[in-house]
Structure 1
Amino acid sequence: MPRFSVIVPAYQVQAYLCECLDSVLTQSCPDLELIVVDDCSPDACGAIIDEYAARDTRVKAVHLDRNQGLGGARNAGIAEASGDYLIFLDSDDTLAPDALQGIADRIKETGEPDVLMYDYARTHWDGRTLRNHLPGPLTEQGPAPFRLEDRPELVRVLMVAWNKACRREFVAEHGFAFPPGYYEDTPWTFPVLMTAESIATLDRVCVHYRQRRQGNILSTTSVKHFDLFDQYDRVFAYVAGRPELERWRPELFRRMIDHYATVFAKRGRLPRGSHGEFLRLARAHYHRYRVPGVRMRRRSVLVRFGLHRTFRALRLASAVRRRALKALMKEARAVRAGMLRLHYRIQLRLPVRADRAVFASEAGGGDPAALEEAFRTLAPHIRTAWIARPEHRHTPPPGPRRIRPGTAAHWTALARSAYLVTDGGLERRLRKRPGQVVLQTRQGTPLGHMGLDLLERPAAARDTDFAELLRDVDRWDHVLSGNRHSTLVWERVLPGRYTTLEYGAPRNDAFQRATSADVTRLRESLGVANGAVAILYAPAHRDHLRTQRPLLDLARIARRLGPRFVLLARTPYEPGAGDGRIIDVRHHPSVQDLCLAADALLTDYASLMFDYAGLDRPIVLHTADWEAYEAARGCYVDLRAVPPGAVARSEDELIDIFATGHWRGSRSAQLRAAFRERFCPYDDGCAAERVVRHVVLGEPQRPPVVPLARRNPVPSACARTQLSTVPQPSGFFPVTESR
């Protein structure tokens, strides 16, 4: 008996079916059966289903001799199911990676509840992914399992079958089944939740709900939207036969009327000329199931009285009001923009202030933050300000005055500050004045192609405006470089009259200043257990992929490595569950703090490896898709030939590197030493000081560079505690033949 029976009804979805089935069969929890029901589909769905059934014994193909609709197809799947829990998945949607493992863990943790509800994210056809905007009711805080009366707000979560796992014996005991027609989820979901003796929640995205550009059934114009009345008749009939459920009648009534108003108001759902009939039926249901004393939304009152023309008139008036307000706001924005332009022109006529410096960072911190601190320490006569976008409101360093982009203060700072420091592009309308110094820090050592080299890499360049880029370059006075490699790349791909300051990376000064107490504090704040080996996983962005997807099964890696290892996942996607051994650090404000907390770095092509090498801690590379990445982005350094540590070309090889101890063996140390010598020659903790003394103070003598052999970056927690591992042979090393 499998743990899960995943039921997928298929009808005219041949373009999406393979992706849906693959998302199930590649789950890290393999204890499942996949029941795919061909609802007499006229396209290739039936053939696709049979192909999957022939390849994988977990797939069970069910072919219906006539089209029965989504409800009938799901019932056919239920009849074939033998798993502990039923999971419904629409054939154009997908399961999120590790979703079933997370569901299984939560079911076990909450004592096998009748129903487990989980969250979803809408995946749009243009690549956008947006999580459900109402995740609050799915919180895992509080006692679990519970009954619906303990958390009644769950009835406000999207009423669909595919955001729940239902215990199969519970479904069979109560005879739950899907009715025919549109909106078949409604008379399934309400009775299931009201009847369940035990419910649990999982606050995690488990389903990616595809938002198709065209073809969504509920978005098509059809008289079948009138099926909604029959579905609510079934819901209230179920309640009428069970007096213990009468307490839910007010909430069901409120939900029903709001549902009717939503369908009525949606453009394109009801056929032309049918709105009056729809509203008359809605009015009849209002009076049939009315619960006195229930407060309704304003538009629901129109349903009560069946005011079709009034409803349309109010909607038209609302549309006119929205258009007028939009036009007014557009005019107000134009006036405000004009006033700001005038303000900027006035500021440009005032003298540049030699005691002002303004800083900005696309990432929210980085080198500009380190330089701002050095300005305040070494040149306290200069007042600093930080341009902080709203999305980076938590990341700017403490101390400087914060300025919001697009304000009068912002334009004043750009017009009159003597020093402009940034790691990204400057404001397009900025006019650099005599007496202003622009310091461009960039964002690390370049591995993938940058600047003009992207002209030959359209997948990576995307919408880059190269003319604007070069106009930006012409305004730079200094470009910061961490090593000779960076200097040669920047001066070639970003040609300009600037001066390159090959002084090191100020953001990495913290690696030399940090103490063991700082490392301990950071690990505790992240929830890393004492004695655990913390691996920071930070993969690079794939320019050739519209949607970033997992390249490693982190849950499997965590299970294979055991409880002594913890993964700090800084990924562009939700990393998944791993029994507490996977810590999501996607939104942590400081990547340098994460580096200090980690005992090793696991990456592929992220330039973070050049920073982390300055810590002299182990680095492991995973290069399974090197050819694809190199073809799309291009690489300045062949990491297979000169890696900073162990190199794995598969997930199993990666697990072996950590399990056997080769990740911190002697060969790894040799490779890292050569890598540090090439790419970290100036990262001695004084990079920011050298920049400030040269650019601001004009001192000819700057702090000498501390040789690599004399540097003492703070050791990792693993190195301090000298965790015992299996013997580390120095000869064997799973790296490419090029070594």
Structure 2
Amino acid sequence: MPRFSVIVPCFKVQGFLRECLDSVLSQSYGDFELIAVDDRSPDGCGAILDEYAGRDPRVTVLHLPENVGLGRARNAGLALATGDYLFFMDSDDTLTPGALRAVADRLAEAADPDVLVFDYARTYWWGGTRRNVLAEILAEAGADTFTAAQYPKILDLLMVVWNKVYRRAFVAAEGFSFPPGYYEDTPWTFPVMLSARRIAVLDRICLNYRQRRQGNILSTTSAKHFDVHDQYERVFAFVEQRPGLAHWRPYLHRKMGEHCLDILAKPDRLPPRDKAEFFRRTAQMFRAHRPEGAVVDGGTGALEGSWTAYRIRRQTARAGQEAARRAGLVRDAAAARARAGWASLHALRPLDPRLVLYSASSHRGMLGDPAAVYATAREIAPLLHGVWAVRDEETAALLPPDVEHVIVGSRRYLEVAARAKFFVNDVNWPGALAKRPGSVHIHTHQGTPLKYLGADLLDKPGARLGFDVPQMLRRADRWDYSLVASRHAELAWERAYPCHFTSLRTGSPRNDVLVNGGPSDFRERHGIPAGHTVVLYAPTRRDYRRVGHVERIDLARFAADLGEGRTLVVRLHPSLANGPARGAGLAELARRGIVIDATDEPRLTDVLLAADVLVTDYSSVMFDYANLDRPIVLHADDWPAFSASRGAYVDITAEPPGHVARSYRELAWLFASGCWRDEESALLRADFRARYCEFDDGRAAERVVRTLLLGEPMPEPAALRIPGQPAGRDALTSA
């Protein structure tokens, strides 16, 4: 008996069917049967299914003599199923890599629940991907099983059949089946979820829900949407036959009203001539099934009135929304004029020679190089007045209480920006910020460049999708000084940003703590056992994929292959922190304690200091980590594709900071054999540090504060010290 029966009804999907089938058959977990049901499809689906069945014994094909629709086709597949769990897939969707393994592991952990709910991502025809917007419901559910009554938020998720697996014995005992019709998922999902005695969740994206250009069947304009009434009648009948579920009637009554009104409100669902009748039938059912004492809220309350009243109400609401939109535009324009006037007023005042405005990572708080400069300025130059620009109050709440801040766009921000003598940032300031004569803009960057940036992206259209290079260069024209940690960085920045700034060979201020061996409480906070070797995996984004994330390593396998005494820590690229990458398995593995997710750690240096070895692909974090003189391993399995799509200033595989693995097998061998920290690794790392960390001497932040903010002399990094040359700002400036 297989663990899973994957049931895939097929009708007019020949263009997507192979991708769907391949996503199942290529899973690393192979204990399943795939039951494909040809619902008398008029295209080539049947032939494709027979082809797959002919070469893979796990595939069973059922050709129906006539078209019966999605629900009955699922029933036909269900009748053939022998697996422990049922997995109903739509034939244009796909499983994500490792999905069945993750589901199987979670089922075992939860001791075979009745239902397991997992996450999904919408994949759009134009290439975009968006994770389920209610994914936090899965994250908040925890590891224990529950009933819908114990955790009713689970019912807020999309009520579809394909984001769950079902214990076949439970389905058989309850006699669940799919009815015919347009909305067949409704009378399946509600009875199943309300009846399940043990529900578990998996906070992982296991399925890609394809969003076709023409939309799915429920997005088409058709009178078939009237079917929703029949389907809810089935749900009400199910509850009526089970007194133990009577307490769900108010919820289902409200849900039905909201669902039907949502269909009615969409302009492209019902033919105009049918809308009044749809409203009448909905209102009739709403009254017929209203539980005694039920409270009708403002939304569904419209169903207690007439169609005319509802239509007038909708028209009034739309008119009010349009009026509010126009009023908002007027207010925004007036506010913009007021802000411009306020800024202009303060621009008439002299610059404050002690005022320094800091920002980092698009106003995300005290981070990176600007934070290191700020901390050093407070220590050795207390007369300087440092203020942080942050994007909102939520970000401001994360700052230490004694740190002064301004919210970007506020009147106080405009005042500070107009009067500050010094500006310190690791990205460009907003375009609206005008650079006053006499002000000094210090650009720290966000690491040593490996990938093409700035003007070099003009020849890489894929890498600059949505990125305005000329606008970026206009903003870079405001830089006065560009801080560099090596001559490589100096040349790359000056090539990428052909602007009138001066390169300063200061080193990277954020790396001072790495050079000087600063403290880190990361291990203690995450409960890493003493004596464990911490392996940090820090991949970068991929420009040849719109979503930026490509799963290069099976994290669970890598953690297992590392063996006892080693802890795997994962830190995603910041641009991927809030996208589907976390849901592709990382969040679930972190919950189970298989890996530690350090993506949200505010201080990267804390993570680097805690790591005994870095595994990365082409992330610039390798240049920072090299200052610790600890082993680095490159996982460069897609270097040709990466360098061709993004461009690179050096072939990092030819000048690596350590051993290079060009496949997962090589990567695992490096750790199994111990070669990751051998003598050759140390020699490669020494050469790498000499090239790319030459100005990082542990005094970079002090050098910036003394030479740029205070105008004092300061010895240049030892790598550049020339006998007889004066110290100070001039000595730090590139030729």
TM-score above 0.5, yes or no = yes
Structure 1 residue 206: deviation in Å?
3.1
> Does 2:459 align with 1:456?
yes
Matched with 1:290 is 290
Matches within 5 A, 1:713-724: none
Matches of 1:503 and 1:694, distance apart in 2: 10
CA distance in structure 1 between the partners assigned to 2:546 and 2:157 by the alignment: 29
- The superposition leaves residues 628-683 of structure 1 with CA deviations (integer Å, 9 ceiling, x where unpaired) of 11111111111221111111111111111112211112211111111111111122
Q: Percent identity?
A: 48
Change (3 A) 1:566 1:62: farther
Equivalent residue for 2:377, pick from 365, 375, 397: 375
Closer, same or farther: CA 592–126 of 1 in aligned 2, 3 Å: farther
Corresponding position of 1:728 = none
Closer, same or farther: CA 246–529 of 1 in aligned 2, 3 Å: same
AA aligned opposite 2:378: R
Structure 1 residue 143, shift from structure 2 partner = 8.0
The one-letter code matched in structure 2 to 1:458 is P
Q: Which residue of 2 aligns with 1:507?
A: 510
The question of 1:122 aligning with 2:135 is answered no
Cross-structure match for 1:328:
327
Distance 1:669 1:106, change over 3 A: same
> Does structure 1 retain, via aligned residues, the 8 Å contact 2:506–2:717?
no
1-structure distance, mates of 2:681, 2:491: 27
Residue 534, structure 1, aligned to residue 534, structure 2: yes
Report if aligned partners of 1:395, 1:589 keep a CA contact under 8 Å in 2.
no
Contact 1:369 1:396 in 2 (8 A): no
Q: Secondary structure at the match of 2:120?
A: strand
After TM superposition, the structure 1 stretch with the greater mean CA deviation from structure 2, 267-276 or 525-534, is: 525-534
Confirm or deny that 1:240 pairs with 2:261.
no
Confirm whether residue 590 of structure 1 aligns to residue 603 of structure 2. Answer: yes
Q: Distance in 2 between matches of 1:54 and 1:549?
A: 32
Q: After superposition, what is the alpha-carbon deviation per residue over 1:676-722, rounded to whole angstroms, capped at 9, x for unaligned?
A: 11111122211111122211222233265389xxxxxxxxxxxxxxx
Q: Secondary structure at the match of 2:206?
A: strand
Q: CA deviation at 1:117?
A: 2.1
- Work out whether 1:344 is the aligned partner of 2:343: yes
- What residue identity is the alignment partner of 2:327? L
CA distance in structure 2 between the aligned counterparts of 1:189 and 1:7, rounded to whole angstroms: 16
CA contact (8 A) 1:140 1:202 kept: no
Contact 1:394 1:589 in 2 (8 A): no
Gaps of at least 5 residues in structure 2 are: 721-735
Amino acid at match of 1:72: R
Q: 1:556 is matched with which residue?
A: 557
Kindly state the Cα deviation for residue 140 of structure 1 after the two structures are TM-superposed: 6.0
Aligned to 1:72: 72
Q: Secondary structure at the match of 2:684?
A: helix
Q: Deviation per CA, 1:600-640, whole angstroms, max 9, x where unpaired?
A: 11111111111111111111111111111111111111122
Alignment of 1:585-734 (within 5 A): 585-702=598-715, 704-705=717-718
Deviations 1:19-74 (A, max 9, x none): 43343334443322233333233334334434444454433333333222211221
* More deviation, 546-555/698-707: 698-707
CA distance in 1, matches of 2:426, 2:45: 50
Q: CA deviation at 1:451?
A: 2.2
Residue 2 (structure 2) pairs with residue 2 (structure 1): yes
Moved more, 359-368 or 496-505: 359-368
Partner of 2:424, secondary structure, is strand
SS in 2 for 1:183: coil
Paired letter, 1:333: D
Whether the 8 Å CA contact 1:40–1:64 is kept in 2: the answer is yes
Q: Is the 8 A contact 2:542 2:550 kept in 1?
A: no
Distance 1:309 1:626 in 2: 64
Q: By how many angstroms is 1:328 displaced?
A: 0.7
User: Which segment drifts farther, 125-134 or 417-426?
Assistant: 125-134
Alignment of 1:6-405 (within 5 A): 6-135=6-135, 137-138=137-138, 144-305=144-305, 307-362=306-361, 364=364, 365-390=367-392, 393=396, 399-405=402-408
Flag the 1:698–1:5 CA change in 2: closer, same or farther, 3 A.
same
Structure 2 distance, partners of 1:379, 1:43, is 76
3-state SS in 2 of match to 1:601: strand
Q: Partner letter of residue 530 of structure 1?
A: A
What's the offset of the Cα at 1:399?
Answer: 4.7
TM-score (norm 1): 0.90
SS of 1:16's partner is helix
Structure 1 residues 245 and 399: alpha-carbon distance in aligned structure 2, compared to 1, 3 A threshold: closer
**TM, length-normalised to structure 2:** 0.90
- Distance in 2 between the 1:51 and 1:525 partners? 54
1:89-109 Cα distance to aligned partner (Å, 9 max, x none)? 223333344333332222222
SS across alignment from 1:37: strand
The CA distance in 2 between the partners of 1:368 and 1:225, in whole Å, is 57
Structure 2 counterparts to residues 410-489 of structure 1, below 5 A: 410-489=413-492
Q: 1:414·1:430 contact (CA, 8 Å) conserved in 2?
A: yes
Spell out, residue by residue over 1:561-606, the C-alpha distance to the aligned partner (whole angstroms, 9 max, x if none): 3343332222231251444222222222222221112221111111
**Alpha-carbon distance in 1 for matches of 2:556, 2:183:** 36
Change (3 A) 1:77 1:529: farther
Say if 1:507 and 1:21 are closer, same or farther in 2 by CA, change over 3 A.
farther
- Cα deviation digits, residues 359-404 of structure 1 (max 9, x gap): 1122642111111112222221110111112385577677532222
CA 1:412 to 1:58, structure 2 compared with 1: closer, same or farther past 3 Å? Answer: farther
Q: Is the Cα–Cα contact under 8 Å of residues 10 and 45 in structure 2 kept in the other structure?
A: yes
Deviates more, 1:477-486 or 1:695-704: 695-704
Q: Which stretch of the first structure deviates more once superposed, 33-42 or 134-143?
A: 134-143
Rounded Cα–Cα distance in structure 2 between residues aligned with 1:160 and 1:447: 45
Q: Which moved more, 1:134-143 or 1:398-407?
A: 134-143
One-letter amino acid of the structure 2 residue matched with residue 612 of structure 1: Y
Aligned CA distance change for structure 1 residues 592 and 143 (closer, same or farther; 3 Å)? closer
1:734 aligned residue: none
**Structure 1 segments unaligned to the other structure (5+ residues):** 708-739
CA RMSD of aligned residues (A): 2.4
Deviations 1:272-315 (A, max 9, x none): 2112221222233223322111112223233234x111111100
Q: Is the 8 A contact 1:40 1:65 kept in 2?
A: yes
Q: Secondary structure at the match of 2:718?
A: coil
Flag the 1:704–1:569 CA change in 2: closer, same or farther, 3 A. Answer: closer
Partner of 2:569: 568
Distance 1:402 1:701, change over 3 A: closer
The one-letter code of the counterpart of 2:488 is H
